[in-house]
Amino acid sequence: MKPTSSQKNSRILSRIIIYLMAILIGIVLGLGISFARSSYGPLPLLLFLLWAYCSMLLHILLHETGHLLCGLLTGYRFVSFRVFSWVWIKKDGRIRCRRHSLPGTAGQCLMGPPDLPPDKMPYVLYHLGGGLANLLISVPAIVLAVLFREIPFVFALLMIFGAMGILFAITNLVPLNGKVANDGMNLWMMRKHESSRRALWVQLKVNEQLAHGLRLRDMDAEWFHYPPLETISDSITAFWVVCAESRFMDEHRFAEAEALIEMLWDKNIPLSEVHRRLILCDQAFCALLAGRTEQAAEILQERKQQKFLLSMPNFPMVLRTQYAFALLAENDSERAQKFREKLDLLRDKAPNQGDWESERELLQFVEEAAEIK
């Protein structure tokens, strides 16, 4: 399935805005560093670069903390808090540390929805919270930088921190559509499409139940009753369909999962790039189980899909698909074993053990197909 023209235009515009902002912030950082070097010489350069990296980390923390606080203020429940690949997840009343990453995101704060009907669920403050937190800290930092401009070292540190926060705020609050939609884009879609608000409720509810160890197949079936495909015009509602497809996979209803994937392609549903690529993994996996190795090879060896697979070396669905391809299409048991061993190492680090149990059962289908072959 190819992206729609509107999706392509949105992604091009997103890249242009991000590049322009990066150039602007680079100029500000450069001026700040040059100002400080003129007084202190070249030695602090490494320190300023290190501080720029630390500022980025601090703003990721601030951003996700902003989502967390605004979510709690509007009735949401804490589920997980991620910075890069480190995830703190609430399970059995305790906070546990796990590993998980998603391309296109540096962090993520997931929360359970308030105990309200989907159409009554507050969503504006929750989505604005991250960018607002960056702004609330960055603007005072820039004001202080101006006040302390006579002290170059302090000026540079404050300006770097403030500029980094402004970059975070703009690239999150201005509606942009990259590998995944940003906060501003999600908010814009929910204000425009009523179905996306119901879809968000389902997504948050599913994530909450997964964190509690429940599997997709054991959740309320009504949650997965998405609207007619021809009416879906936003990526949040499109992900609702992805949840339904994933439930088919967890129930081992592979033919129905494949049929739904084909309908997604036929209707040209506006999936985010990450979900599009993950769906292709499931399509290739189903093809492998059915003995259609050439179709699986065509899907997995396509250039963009290859690039995606390389960017997700520790994602269970990706490893499961690569394991199946190595064993069923390439007849390379040694290569397959490497993917299997990597999956086994990830088992205890997985944020959702229910997901792991599902993946383990799918691996058994691969091994049974290999024995028959």
Measured CA to CA, the distance from residue 242 to residue 244 in angstroms comes to 5
Partner residues linked to 181 by β-bridges: 177
Measured CA to CA, the distance from residue 194 to residue 239 in angstroms comes to 15
The pLDDT of residue 121: 94
The pLDDT of residue 351: 74
Measured CA to CA, the distance from residue 25 to residue 22 in angstroms comes to 5
Helices 124-147 and 44-73 pack at an angle, to 10 degrees, of 150
Report how far apart the first and last C-alpha atoms of the chain are (Å, whole number): 31
> Tokens representing 11?
């992604």
| Nearest alpha-carbon partner for 180 in 245, 271, 267, 67 | 271
Measured CA to CA, the distance from residue 250 to residue 202 in angstroms comes to 17
Give the single-character DSSP code of 291: T
- Distances, alpha carbon 2 to alpha carbons 230, 269, 299, 350, in Å: 16, 9, 13, 32
Measured CA to CA, the distance from residue 105 to residue 187 in angstroms comes to 17
Measured CA to CA, the distance from residue 104 to residue 128 in angstroms comes to 18
pLDDT tens, residue order, the chain (373 aa): 455 555 555 556 656 666 666 676 666 666 666 665 665 555 566 777 788 889 999 999 999 999 999 999 999 999 999 888 788 888 777 888 877 777 667 788 999 999 999 889 999 999 999 999 999 999 999 999 999 988 877 888 898 899 889 989 988 998 887 777 889 999 999 998 889 999 999 999 999 999 888 999 999 999 999 999 999 989 999 999 999 999 999 999 999 999 999 999 999 899 988 999 999 999 999 999 999 999 999 999 999 999 999 988 888 999 999 999 999 999 999 999 999 999 888 877 777 777 888 999 999 999 999 987 6
Q: Which amino acid is at 271?
A: L
Burial of 220 by CB count in 10 Å (0-12 exposed, 13-18 middle, 19+ buried)?
exposed
Measured CA to CA, the distance from residue 292 to residue 75 in angstroms comes to 48
